[in-house]
Amino acid sequence: MCKEINVIKNTRKFCLIVFFFTVFNSILANVDYESWSSLEFGKKLPFSFDLDFEQSLRLKDNLSSFKQTFTETSISYNMFNGMKFFIPFRYAVFKDKIKKRISFGAAYKHNLNKISFRYRIKLQKTYLDDKIFNPLIRNKFTLGSKINKKLRPYVSQEFSHFVQDGQVDYDEYRLSVGVRINLGKKRETKIFYTQKIEGLSKKNQDKANVFGVSYAFEW
């Protein structure tokens, strides 16, 4: 019991350290600032299926210009406790183009007292007019903690890479810290900060600090 309490305390300290480090680093870094905001809602279906919908708006250039807006619909199947499979479809509108994206993924979550571990893998293909981009694999690890019934802070890392002709080209890395706030009546808001680096396999990389907020509810 004492060991579990120490694990919880150390995890919370780690999350706070990562949070202050990333915020301090973002203040000093000479990179672009972005904002991501979204509205999400879900509906439980019969036979362990779920239907989810998300509408998002993203700004760039230090929050001064439009980056994209997208609509994403996803259907998922809860195979057993903690394990699920999902298929999301995204329709993204940029200033000068429209991208469509379909993905296949799986996620597993394990709860240990007030600590949770989650791993997600996703294979996605993006379409732009007649162009089909190489498949992209996304791996995401999330460590969460439940402080009380209202607050659930978390930290996550995500790695993305293309696979072509047996070669792996790393595309993007994300480090995120945030908190989920339970609003009651199946409603939740999430506030987060993400440090994003694109073009990992290239000489010149694009870096951005992202501040985001989302609001989600279930029917």
At 33, which CATH number?
A: 2.40.160.40
Q: What is the mean pLDDT of the chain?
A: 88
pLDDT tens by residue, 146-181: 999 899 999 999 999 987 777 778 899 999 999 999
pLDDT tens by residue, 208-218: 999 999 999 99
pLDDT tens by residue, 113-135: 889 999 999 999 999 988 988 89
First-last CA distance in the chain:
38
How confident is residue 28, by pLDDT bands cut at 50, 70 and 90? Answer: very low
Residue 3 in this model has a pLDDT that exceeds 70: no
Q: What's the whole-number mean pLDDT along residues 200-204?
A: 82
- Of the candidates 215, 173, 172, 171, the one whose C-alpha atom is nearest the C-alpha of residue 192 is 215
Q: Which residues contact 190 (CB under 8 A, 6 or more apart)?
A: 178, 179, 180, 181, 212, 213, 214, 216
Per-residue pLDDT at 195:
95
Domain extent at residue 46: 2-218
**CA 200, 176, 79 angle in degrees (round to 5)?**
100
Burial (0-12, 13-18, 19+ Cβ within 10 Å), 202:
exposed
The number of domains in the chain is 1
State the pTM of this model.
0.83
pLDDT tens by residue, 47-87: 999 999 999 999 999 889 999 999 999 999 999 889 999 99
Per-residue pLDDT at 12:
58
Per-residue pLDDT at 25:
54
Per-residue pLDDT at 6:
55
Per-residue pLDDT at 173:
95
